[in-house]
């Protein structure tokens, strides 16, 4: 078998071994909060405190109604955290699992699945805050909200592809991780997470057109707020998803021969 074929087979076997990835993800979450009393509740709590605090302060600074703003934040913030975590943790997917790659002859892409599951679990915990906000604010429930489901699917599949791609690149280029961490801090302010672009009316600023993260945020947040999502956003996200998965698979398969040596 050529190295590329071994890489392709790894991608396939990684799918077959998702139960292993699931138990590994569970173990990581367990150990992260072992010896704490509140355990994984800290994940939800930290986000809830942040959202609550920002909602109180910014609704006054921007002279907005508290309840709609709280709902806006509680819907967008978990999605943003998911995107930012994927981007900052992806470059270390393979680097941090060197021991496991060397000791077990399991597919290497299991590590990608594991990381995606950990990040998704944290996302699910953050969405608990959205549920609470939904109960407090009681916005109109519409069938349009269901569009958030395909939005989420696109978000997760893109996350998988991006992790595979950035995981390989991050092993080869060690400053990718700090560079991405820095950029995501910057993008957090630039992307309408805690300010609402709808307030700016017709003059939508440029960062809502040429900002890839905005579109991914919008395909989940838009439906959940019963706000129509621009066709532009759906198209962009689907194209990016396909691109990420294809590029990720090709990069992994082609780099499989030397990948271990970069770790």
66 interacts with other proteins by CB under 8 A: no
Indicate which single residue of 8, 54, 95, 106 sits in contact with other proteins (rule: CB under 8 A).
106
Tell me which stretch binds other proteins (CB under 8 A): 70-78, 130-138, 169-177, 219-227: 169-177
Instruction: Please give the torsion angle defined by the CA atoms of residues 131, 135, 140 and 141, in that order, rounded to the nearest 10 degrees.
Output: 50
Name the residue nearer to other proteins (CB basis): 23 or 138: 23
Indicate which single residue of 41, 176, 247, 249 sits in contact with other proteins (rule: CB under 8 A).
176
Shortest reach from residue 94's CB to other proteins, in Å:
12
At 245, give phi and psi (nearest 5°): -65, -45
Name the residue nearer to other proteins (CB basis): 10 or 196: 10
Q: Which long-range contacts (CB under 8 A, 24 or more apart) does 16-24 make?
A: 16/107, 17/106, 17/107, 17/110, 17/113, 18/110, 18/113, 20/106, 20/110, 21/110, 21/111, 21/113, 21/114, 21/117, 22/113, 22/114, 22/117, 24/110, 24/114
Q: In Å, what is the CA distance from 79 to each residue of 91, 116, 149, 231?
A: 20, 14, 13, 19
Name the residue nearer to other proteins (CB basis): 17 or 204: 17
Number of residues that bind other proteins (CB under 8 A): 34
Name the residue nearer to other proteins (CB basis): 35 or 63: 35
Q: How large is the angle between the packed helices 231-262 and 3-16, nearest 10 degrees?
A: 120
Indicate which single residue of 54, 100, 128, 132 sits in contact with other proteins (rule: CB under 8 A).
100
Angle at 231 between CA 230 and CA 236, to 5 degrees: 105
Contacts to other proteins from residues 224-263, by CB under 8 A:
256-258, 260-262
Shortest reach from residue 121's CB to other proteins, in Å:
17
> Which residue in 178, 172, 199, 197 sits closest to 259, CA to CA?
172
To which residue do tokens 């299991």 refer? 110
Contacts to other proteins from residues 13-52, by CB under 8 A:
17, 20, 23-24, 27, 30-31, 34-35
Q: In Å, what is the CA distance from 104 to each residue of 134, 174, 192, 263?
A: 45, 25, 43, 16
CA 18 to chain centre: 19
Indicate which single residue of 54, 128, 132, 169 sits in contact with other proteins (rule: CB under 8 A).
169
Tell me which stretch binds other proteins (CB under 8 A): 66-74, 170-178, 185-193, 224-232: 170-178
3 interacts with other proteins by CB under 8 A: yes
Shortest reach from residue 32's CB to other proteins, in Å:
9
**What residues line the site for other proteins (CB under 8 A)?**
1, 3, 6, 17, 20, 23-24, 27, 30-31, 34-35, 98-106, 169, 172-176, 179, 256-258, 260-262
């Amino acid at each position: 078998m050529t190295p590329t074929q071994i890489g392709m087979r790894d991608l396939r076997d990684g799918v077959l071994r998702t139960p292993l990835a699931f138990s590994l993800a569970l173990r990581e979450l367990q150990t992260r909060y072992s010896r704490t009393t509140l355990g994984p509740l800290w994940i939800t709590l930290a986000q809830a405190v942040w959202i609550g605090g920002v909602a109180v302060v910014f609704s006054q600074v921007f002279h907005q109604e508290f309840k709609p703003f709280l709902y806006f934040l509680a819907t967008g913030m978990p999605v943003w955290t998911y995107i930012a975590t994927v981007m900052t943790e992806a470059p270390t997917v393979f680097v941090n699992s060197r021991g496991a790659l060397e000791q077990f002859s399991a597919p290497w892409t299991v590590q990608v699945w594991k990381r995606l599951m950990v990040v998704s679990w944290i996302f699910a915990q953050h969405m608990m805050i959205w549920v609470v906000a939904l109960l407090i604010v009681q916005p109109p429930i519409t069938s349009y909200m269901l569009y958030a489901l395909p939005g989420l699917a696109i978000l997760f599949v893109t996350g998988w592809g991006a992790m595979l791609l950035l995981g390989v690149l991050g092993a080869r280029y060690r400053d990718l991780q700090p560079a991405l961490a820095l950029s995501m801090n910057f993008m957090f302010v630039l992307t309408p997470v805690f300010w609402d672009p709808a307030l700016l009316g017709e003059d939508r600023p440029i960062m809502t057109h040429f900002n890839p993260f905005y579109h991914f945020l919008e395909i989940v947040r838009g439906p959940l707020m019963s706000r129509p999502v621009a066709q532009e956003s759906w198209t962009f996200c689907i194209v990016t998803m396909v691109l990420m998965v294809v590029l990720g698979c090709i990069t992994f398969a082609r780099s499989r021969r030397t990948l271990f040596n970069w770790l």
